[in-house]
Amino acid sequence: MNSQFPEAVGCPIQWAKCWDRRTDGIGYLPGIIRRLDYLSSLNVTALWLSPIYPSPMRDFGYDVADYTAIHPWFGTLDDFDRLLDAVHVRGLRLILDLVPNHTSDEHPWFVASRSSRDHPKRPWYIWRDPAPDGGPPNNWLSFFGGPAWTYDERTGQYYLHQFTRQQPELNYRHPEVLEAMLGAMRFWLERGVDGFRVDVVWLLMKDRDFRDEPLNPQWDGLKPHGRLQHIYTANLPETHDVVRTMRAVIDGYGDRLMVGEAYLPNPDLMRYYGRFLDECHLPMNFQLISSEWRAREVRRRVDAYEAALPPGAWPNWVLGNHDQPRLASRVGPEQGRVAAMLLLTLRGTPTWYYVDELGMQDVPIPVGQMKDPQALNQPEIADRMSRDPTRTPMPWDASPYGGFTGADAEPWLPLAEDYPTRNVEAQSRDGRSPLALFRALTALRQRTPALMIGDYRVPATPVPDDIFAYLRMLGEARILVVLNFGAGLHRLDFSAAARCGELLLCTGLDRFEPPDLRALVIRPNEGVIIRLAPGG
Ligand code: NOJ
């Protein structure tokens, strides 16, 4: 394994629903091929696709019915091979979503497992007898509301599912299950994919004794799933054996990447690198998503994460994904620019979610048009739970439906209201747009080794509460990043760090003067990147 790959990835972008120009409003692989020049223009180096496998789409592809084929909505295996070639020709990498924790209830494995208690595939899934009162075997909960168990009339047992009831969970205590999943991985690795983002990697193992989970005294009353402490359904020590085995398969194919989805606090998250760095290359670090958007809190999180990293582990940062509200809705449009600068100047592989580069906000989706099972299964809190607002089509231009589909085909979710002005074409013409800033940041990062692989350090200079300032350093090169999380103007004295410097970029893309390090002006909601003169 070439351990440089995670950094070489530079900035993977997650492309969920930006595939265009057909008549069914969904998007497909050939549409992505046509838009690859756009990806190249973003200077990102890898593309992660949400699941594209055959699926009844109860959870938009995260309910896989066949791990080694393409859903006809999205095209064919030939289309996939053409996409992979086109991605590689551009020097990009392609990462697939692997969903090993659960299948669709229409997957032939589950159909067989469900067919009788004696079927050899019965133990591939997690079946339990009812409790003495006939109810679910224990108190485990689904992330999507209600119990994590569904009763199967025909065979008289319950099966486990932590998401929709159409997503039964595989039993990784049965050796054939892992073998089957490794087979699916090999199928795609042999075709040439550059790696996997492994879905809910921290949930793969469950308590052998199926004990009830204790109540969570910290529960904020918001998400019903949070009512319990998930000590028997998440982050079990045995999970690491599975992850290590998967990584060994990936390593067998050379320079490939394993990214793991795990919403965990630092000490637990770090274990997913593996004791010998033999698990995930990048256990996803979601702290910037969950953080209160204040300079001090963000700095505290960055410092704590940096300090917790095991020796040799490469960091990573995530600002958005298909499960979370959009960046600009979370932090506000002005701070969206600061957040982009933060992500692209921190040490570690950044992950970006499509359309955030346009500064687009969540798109309100009326209850009647909601598609997300997390919302539909919990109607009383649907507004809060729906992930649809973050999954709407890519607005390419001002034409009907933003050029995502033809004018005659309504997209699967509505476009943002402001798409006639907030779209790729319009922002490409505007030298100060969020898109222009994103391109400038990624280009700067790619040509600046100190930003790519340099050390991270906070300078001794005291700064006001609203400011987060840090250095990225490689050899003689020192890059100073100063971010203003507030609405006030500040004059800061960085003369102890260097006598002079060169302003490389500011979030407004409108300052070019040499910076005065004795009285560096930082405007409200502004970030700047300065190359410090050597010495100092
Ligand atoms: C995590 C995925 O990111 C999410 O979209 C999905 O609903 C669940 N896993 C279940 O697969």
Task: Return the domain boundaries, the chain.
Answer: 5-100+175-207+234-439, 108-160, 455-532
The alpha carbon of 245 and the centre of ligand 1 are apart by a number of angstroms equal to: 22
Q: How many residues does this entry show for the chain?
A: 536
Q: What is the pLDDT of residue 2?
A: 32
What pLDDT sits at residue 18? Answer: 47
The active-site residue out of 97, 199, 362, 372 is: 199
Q: Which residues line ligand 1 (CB under 6 A)?
A: 59, 62, 99, 163, 199-200, 261, 322-323
Give, for all 536 residues of the chain, the pLDDT tens digit: 233 444 544 455 665 444 554 556 777 899 899 899 999 999 999 999 999 999 999 999 999 999 999 999 899 999 999 999 999 999 999 999 999 999 999 999 999 999 999 999 999 999 999 999 999 999 999 999 999 999 999 999 999 999 999 999 999 999 999 999 999 999 999 999 999 999 999 999 999 999 999 999 999 999 999 999 999 999 999 999 999 999 999 999 999 999 999 999 999 999 999 999 999 999 999 999 999 999 999 999 999 999 999 999 999 999 999 999 999 999 999 999 999 999 999 999 999 999 999 999 999 999 999 999 999 999 999 999 999 999 999 999 999 999 888 788 888 899 999 999 999 999 999 999 999 999 999 999 999 999 999 999 999 999 999 999 999 999 999 999 999 999 999 999 999 999 999 999 999 999 999 999 999 999 999 999 999 999 76
Structure tokens at 426: 């319009």
* Beta pairing partners, 491: 521
- Compute the distance from residue 369 Cα to the ligand 1 centre, in Å: 20
pLDDT at res. 536: 61
Which amino acid residue places its CA nearest to atom 5 of ligand 1? 323
Ligand 1 atom closest to 144 (CA) = 7
First to last CA, the chain: 39
Out of 59, 97, 105, 261, pick the active-site residue: 261
Q: How many helices (DSSP H) and strands (DSSP E) are in the chain?
A: 17, 18
- Which distant-in-sequence residues (6+ apart) come within 8 Å of 525 by Cβ? 334, 335, 337, 338, 484, 485, 486, 487, 507
Q: Which pLDDT does position 13 carry in this prediction?
A: 60
> Contact, 232 vs 140, CB < 8 A?
yes
> Which residue's CA is the closest to the ligand 1 atom numbered 8?
62
| Distance from residue 199's CA to the centre of ligand 1 (Å) | 7
CB crowding 52-68: b at 16 or more within 10 Å, else e: bbbbebbbbbbbbbbbe
Q: Give the distance (Å) from ligand 1 centre to CA of residue 162.
A: 10
Q: Give how far Cα 101 sits from Cα of 66, 193, 246, 300, 450, Å.
A: 14, 20, 13, 33, 38
Does domain 5-100+175-207+234-439 match CATH 3.20.20.80?
A: yes
What token pair was written down for 322? 């298909």
Secondary structure (DSSP) of 367-414 = GGG---HHHHTSGGGHHHH--GGGSPPP--SSSGGGGSS-TTS--SSP
> Strand, helix or coil at 43?
coil
- Predicted model pTM: 0.95
What's the pLDDT score for residue 408?
80
pLDDT value at position 404?
87
Other C-beta atoms closer than 10 Å to the C-beta of 254 total 11
User: How far is residue 152's CA from residue 166's CA, in Å, rounded to a whole number?
Assistant: 12
Question: In this structure, what are the phi and psi dihedrals at residue 9, rounded to the nearest 5 degrees?
Answer: -60, -30
Name the residue with the closest Cα to ligand 1, atom 2: 199
Question: 455-532 — its CATH code?
Answer: 2.60.40.1180
Q: Which atom of ligand 1 is nearest to the CA of 59?
A: 7
Strands 501-506 and 477-484: unpaired
66 is catalytic: no
Contact by Cβ (8 Å): 260, 280:
yes
Look at residue 24 in the predicted model and tell me its pLDDT.
Answer: 66
Q: Where are the alpha helices (DSSP H) in 472-521?
A: none
* Closest of 2, 42, 26 to residue 74, by C-alpha: 26
Q: Is 199 a catalytic residue?
A: yes
Q: Which CATH architecture has domain 108-160?
A: Alpha-Beta Complex (3.90)
Q: What is the pLDDT of residue 206?
A: 98
To 10 degrees, the CA torsion angle through 293, 299, 304, 306? 120
Structural element, H or E, at residue 457: strand 455-457
